[in-house]
A and B are shown apart, each in its own frame.
Chain A
C-alpha cells in the first residue's frame, strides 16, 4: 500500500485538514485497489491462409476464387482457464466481431484480481436463454443485422461473398448460421490454449479452414436454422487458434 506515507504530512488548520485527509484516504484506497487488478486484451485476426483478410479482395484457394464481402460473428461467454480451472469468466459477455469495424477485433478485459491463464474458452454465437429473452441492447441490438426478424433468433456467424462457381444470383454466397433449438443448435464452443501471462493475446481466425468446407455449387446459401446450418457450424471451432 504505497501512498500511505503521504498521509503523515497533515498539519494544523483543522477544517482544511479534515478535507485533505478524506481526499488522501480515497486516493490511497484507489491506488490500493488498482494495484492488484489485471487489464488484458484478446484480439482477433481473420486470415486467409497467410494473408490478413481484406474485404472485397480476391483470394485464390486451391482451385477456388473467393471474395469476402461480410464477416460478422458473435462471441459470448468468454472465460479464461489456468491449468484446466476457470480463473475468470466475463460477466454479461457478448461481443460482435465485424470485419467492417476493425475496432471490434480487439476486446478488453478487466479483473480486480491478478489473473494468469493458459487457455481461452468462448462460444461462437448466442446461447438459447438469451435467444428467448426478448430484445437486447448493445452488441445484441437487432439493428446490428444479426437478428432474424421473421423467425426469432440470432445469427451466430455470417459470411457473405462471391465465388464464380456459385450457382446463386451474381455468383454470390451467403451463409447465415444460427439456430438455438434442438436438434439444430448452431452454437459452437471454442477452447484454445494460449501462451501464459500475456497482456495481449492474438487469436487467428483462419477462414481458409471454413471456406474449404463450403460447397458453393450445391449449397450457395444458408439463411435459416437447419440441419445444414448445424453441420456447417461444427467446423467453426477449427478456424480459431492462438499464437
Chain B
C-alpha cells in the first residue's frame, strides 16, 4: 500500500508543478454601439502582471541609448499621453523630432499607427520611437540585453511570463498591454480636458492628436470650435500625414492654400499663448 500511496503523491506533486501561477486576466470593456476592436487580444491576453511590467517599461529611461528618455517624456499622462507643450516633440539629447507624439486613446481600434500610418500593428509601434535617432536612438536588441542584465526586470518578466528570459516580443507585448489598458483612462482624461478645452485652444490640440476618435467622442469638442484666422496652411507641412474622416484614416488631400483641421495641430501650438493654468492642470483634473 505504501507503494501506491507514494505513486499518488508523486502524481499529485507533478500535477501541482504543472499548474502555472494564476494570472489575473484583464478585459477591456467595449462600450455599447462601438465596433469590434481591431487588436487581437487572444494573441496577447491582458493580465495584471504584464500590464504592470509594461507600465514600468513605459516610464523607464532604459529604453533609450543614454538611459535618459522614456516613452513618458513625450507621452504625458495628464494630457491623454500626448505632448501639448511643443509643436514637435524633442527626444534624446534635446534633438527636435519630426513629429509630435499622438495621444494614446482607443488604441485597440487602431489600424495604422504613427502620423504617416507606416506602422501596421500596435505591438510593433514602440520599435519606431526606440530606434529613431531623434527620439530614443537605441536598438531593441540592446534594450533586451539591458533588461536581461537587471535583476528587477528578470523577476518582473518571470511574474508576467512565467520565465525570466527577456525577448523583444515579450518587451513589446507588455508595452502594448499597458497602453491598451491605459487608453481607457486616457479617454477619461480627454473627457475632463473637454470641459476646459472649449475655452482654451491649447487643449483642443489634444483632441487633434488623437488618431482614432469615434463620433460620440469627437462631438464632445471638435464641432464646437472654429479655427482662428491666420494659422499656417499645408505648405508648412513637410511630412505625409493622415486625417480622420468617418472614423477611417485617409491620406490628407488638402492643397496648400486650405487648412486641414486635423493636420493643423502640427504647427498650431507654436502660435498659441501658453495658458497659465496648464501648470496646475494635474491638480485641476483630480
Contacts and interface: CB of A to CB of B under 8 A. Distances in A.
Interface of A: 15-16, 19, 131-137, 140-145, 147, 149-153
B141 A132 contact: no
A124 to B, nearest CB: 21
A134 B124 contact: yes
Interface in B88-133: 118-124, 127-128, 130-132
B167 interface: yes
Interface stretch (B19-27, B69-77, B168-176): B168-176
Interface in B131-187: 131-132, 140-141, 144, 167-170, 172-173
Given A142-B140, A152-B124, A137 B169 contact: yes
B173 A152 contact: no
B196 to A, nearest CB: 35
Given A142-B172, A145-B141, A149-B128, A135 B123 contact: yes
Contacts of A150: 118, 128, 131-132
Given A141-B167, A142-B140, A135 B118 contact: no
Interface of B: 1, 3-4, 7, 40, 43-44, 118-124, 127-128, 130-132, 140-141, 144, 167-170, 172-173
Contacts of A145: 141
Contacts, number: 68
A132 B112 CA distance: 10
Nearest to B144: A143
16 contacts: A15-B4, A19-B7, A132-B120, A133-B121, A135-B173, A137-B167, A141-B167, A141-B168, A142-B169, A143-B140, A143-B168, A144-B141, A145-B141, A149-B130, A150-B131, A152-B124
Nearest to A181: B120
Contact of B121 (A132, A137, A151): A132
B119 A134 contact: no
Contacts of A137: 167-170
Contacts of A147: 124, 127
A132 B123 CA distance: 10
B169 A141 contact: yes
Given A15-B4, A141-B167, A142-B172, A149 B121 contact: no
Given A19-B3, A142-B169, 6 more contacts: A15-B3, A16-B3, A134-B123, A135-B169, A143-B144, A151-B118
